[in-house]
Amino acid sequence: MKYFYSEIDHIVTTFNDIHKDDHGIEYLRVYHERPSVNCFDYLETRLPDLNVVSSQGFSDDEVKNLLQYTRNNAALLWEIAREEGGKVAHAS
Contact criterion met (CB below 8 Å) for 16 and 2? yes
The domain of 78 spans 2-86
Q: Give domain status of residue 92, yes or no.
A: no
Model pTM?
A: 0.86
Q: Is residue 86 over pLDDT 80?
A: no
**Cα-based distances in Å from 52 to 8, 33, 74, 84:** 20, 14, 15, 24
Instruction: Give the tens place of pLDDT for each residue, 5-14.
Output: 999 999 999 9
Domain for residue 35, yes or no?
yes
Could you give the number of structural domains in the chain?
1
* Cis amide leading into 48 (omega within 30): yes
**Is 54 part of a structural domain of the chain?**
yes
Alpha helices (runs of H) in 5-91, residue ranges in sequence order: 60-85
CB within 8 A of 56, min separation 6: which ones? Answer: 41, 42
